């Protein structure tokens, strides 16, 4: 399974990719930045990339080192705002969310557009449930949280970085939504405490980094912590709930992610009567020349 953002999304476009870079349009602005998975040759000449780009990300001295692999600076090529907004229309409805973009020192801009199929899935699932409770762990700037909230869910949004939680709150307010519960905490500690308290969630979203730190210095390493986290999540998922697991770590595959989920939730590998439904695959972008750029793997569980 390979999923792409809907072509009707007018505020995002992957214009070209190749030679370790991608050329993207977010709203009115075009950005060029590194993309290690773009192993092929660019379709447009470099002169056209330079003509189209408002800004280009230049990797810093630490580029390629663990924890510094995305560090660097943005070089402005044309006039543009430091921050700007795009909108995303949710499926089969008049609802939409607003997402603020900004140029960070780690080449990210606050939105991962390949995640749009997950936002659609979360919105549809929450719309099909009665007053669902959703927990978004490692929630970043909150597009998935807003999709759930727009569908009427009671949402707990958790991230260990206060600045990105503030960013997410701004996205909520700009989207005309309210009522999201904001938590700045270590995800593992929070999930374990919810387990002890017997709290259950109808939907749980996880997008864990390869490495990270909690607000009190707690260490997160995906290879060492993911399975334990999934086992804890299994204890706080409601009987008819859903899970969305997204993984960007190099070396992980959809098959590996699915096996982790099956083992953590005690789900047999072969179909069984009334067994939860599990789907897995890749989230990707299609550039204007038809080149497919796979960026993450996703596993979804529906009880």
Query: Does pTM surpass 0.85?
Result: yes
Query: What are the DSSP calls for 79-128, one per residue?
Result: ---SEEEEEEEPTTSS-EEEEEEE--TTS--S--GGGHHHHHHHHHHHHT
> 52 near 30, Cβ under 8 Å?
yes
Return residue ranges of the chain for CATH 2.60.40.1180.
2-83
Handedness of CA 250, 85, 287, 150 (dihedral sign): positive
pLDDT of residue 63: 52
Output Rg (C-alpha) for the chain, integer angstroms. Answer: 19
What is Dmax (Cα atoms) for the chain? 59
Residues of the chain with pLDDT under 50: none
Residue 35 pLDDT: 96
**Residue whose pair of structure tokens reads 């299994």 in the numeric block:** 234
- Beta pairing class for 219-221 and 181-184: unpaired
Kindly report the length of the chain: 303
pLDDT digits (tens, 9 = 90+) for 230-282: 999 999 999 999 999 999 987 899 999 999 999 999 987 655 555 689 999 99
What is the secondary structure of 19-70 as a DSSP string?
A: TTEEEEEETTEEEEEE-TT--S--SS-HHHHHHH-SEEEEE-TTTTSTTTTT
Domain with CATH 3.40.50.150 in the chain: 107-302
Q: How is residue 16 written in tokens? A: 């070209």
Tell me what pLDDT residue 65 has.
Answer: 54
Architecture per CATH, 107-302: 3-Layer(aba) Sandwich (3.40)
Check residue 66 and give its pLDDT. Answer: 52
Question: Looking at the DSSP assignment, which residues form a beta bridge with residue 90?
Answer: none
C-alpha distances (whole Å) from 146 to each of 98, 123, 158, 188, 237 are 9, 9, 13, 22, 20
CATH 2.60.40.1180 fits 2-83, yes or no: yes
């Amino acid at each position: 399974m390979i999923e792409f953002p809907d072509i009707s999304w007018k505020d995002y476009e992957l214009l070209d990719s190749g030679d370790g870079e991608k050329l993207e349009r977010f709203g009115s602005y075009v950005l060029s930045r590194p993309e290690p998975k773009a192993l092929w040759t660019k379709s447009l000449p470099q002169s056209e990339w330079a003509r189209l780009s408002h800004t280009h990300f230049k990797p810093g001295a630490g580029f390629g080192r663990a924890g510094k692999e995305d560090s660097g600076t943005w070089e402005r090529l044309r006039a543009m705002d430091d921050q700007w907004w795009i909108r995303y229309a949710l499926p089969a409805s008049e609802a939409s969310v607003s997402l603020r973009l900004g140029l960070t020192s780690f080449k990210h801009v606050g939105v991962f557009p390949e995640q749009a199929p997950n936002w659609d899935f979360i919105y549809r699932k929450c719309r099909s449930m009665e007053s669902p409770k959703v927990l978004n762990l490692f929630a970043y700037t909150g597009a998935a949280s807003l999709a759930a909230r727009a569908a009427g869910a009671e949402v707990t949004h958790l991230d260990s970085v206060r600045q990105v939680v503030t960013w997410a709150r701004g996205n909520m307010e700009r989207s005309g939504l309210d009522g999201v519960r904001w938590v700045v905490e270590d995800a593992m500690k929070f999930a374990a405490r919810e387990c002890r308290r017997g709290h259950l969630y109808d939907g749980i979203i996880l997008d864990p980094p390869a490495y990270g730190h909690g607000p009190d210095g707690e260490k997160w390493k995906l290879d060492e912590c993911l399975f334990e986290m999934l086992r804890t999540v299994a204890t706080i998922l409601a009987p008819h709930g859903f899970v969305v697991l997204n993984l960007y770590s190099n070396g992980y595959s959809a098959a590996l992610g699915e096996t982790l989920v099956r083992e953590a939730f005690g789900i047999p590998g072969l179909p069984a009567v009334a067994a939860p439904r599990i789907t897995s695959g890749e989230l990707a972008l299609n550039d204007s020349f038809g080149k497919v750029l796979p960026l993450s793997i996703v596993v979804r569980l529906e009880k």
